[in-house]
Amino acid sequence: MVQEIRVRAHAKINLYLDVVGKREDGYHNLETIFHSIGLHDDVIIRKQATKGITVYCEHPRVPRDSRNLAYRAANLLSDSVGGIDGIAIDIHKRIPVAAGLAGGSANAAAVLHGVNELFGLNFTQETLRQFGAQLGADVPFCLHGGAALGLGIGDQLTRLPALSDVPLLLLNPGIEISTATAFKKLNFSLTIQKKSGIIIETCLEKGDVMGIGENLYNLLEVPVFCQHPEIAALKTEVSTQTGVCGALMSGSGATVFAVMHNRNAARQSQLHFKNRVSFCTTTVTSPVGVSVH
């Protein structure tokens, strides 16, 4: 009998993010284009003899109780079937915490996928995505993976053609940004929609990497850059590097990603920044959000 399952929980970037209004429930309506990337956490889910849910993670900023989305994902599935005997979740972090890359949401998606498989719950992917929407706005996409247009709070997904192994450079200056604070500081009277996500959608359909790089857009850069001009400076500097098609802050930050012409250019830019920021790595676009390995 299988006692454990190992799931890769892939990070995401936003190629486009516009906030189109605030909802009565306090959330915001978005128009965003997500893309999965190769950077991932490893989530190992095991059956354990003791009842309950146990979360292990060496990262000091990752909670091990119900504040953790992965814990809540396991608890949600357990409650939905009238209880599951012991579940142990071991999270090996590579994705920076509170970085705009959906690390916590990716872990929750991995647990939904893994617990469903390990315990033979037989929920459909659509049902798992509905569970995911109860946990957080990014969880449904992390289950979906690849590329998608997200509407509503980001949970209403339409599949888009995914980019194949496009090189990326990721930079994080070590600043943790509160998503709620970033949204709270948006001033709708001062913001005008800069670009249409249709441009990015068309470029994805054509596989036009340069076109995507030239049309990257994130409205949340406005409030975040006002609070943290060093992130704006990082984006400006990486944009001038050789081989960069375009750069953008992902989600609510503080990670800045650059779409690169080729892997060599990505490696050269990584060498330029590696001793100057707290997190610097190269990766590629991914066609999946979660995968068993």
Active site residues: 12, 138
210: CB partners within 8 A, 6+ apart: 245
Name the residue among 16, 43, 36, 38 with its Cα closest to residue 282: 38
CA angle 134–138–140, rounded 5-degree value: 65
Nearest residue to 74 (alpha-carbon basis) of 62, 59, 58, 86 = 86
H, E, C per residue of 137-163: CCHHHHHHCCEEEEECCCCEEEEECCC
Query: Cβ distance 263 to 166 under 8 Å?
Result: no
181 vs 41: CA distance, rounded Å: 26
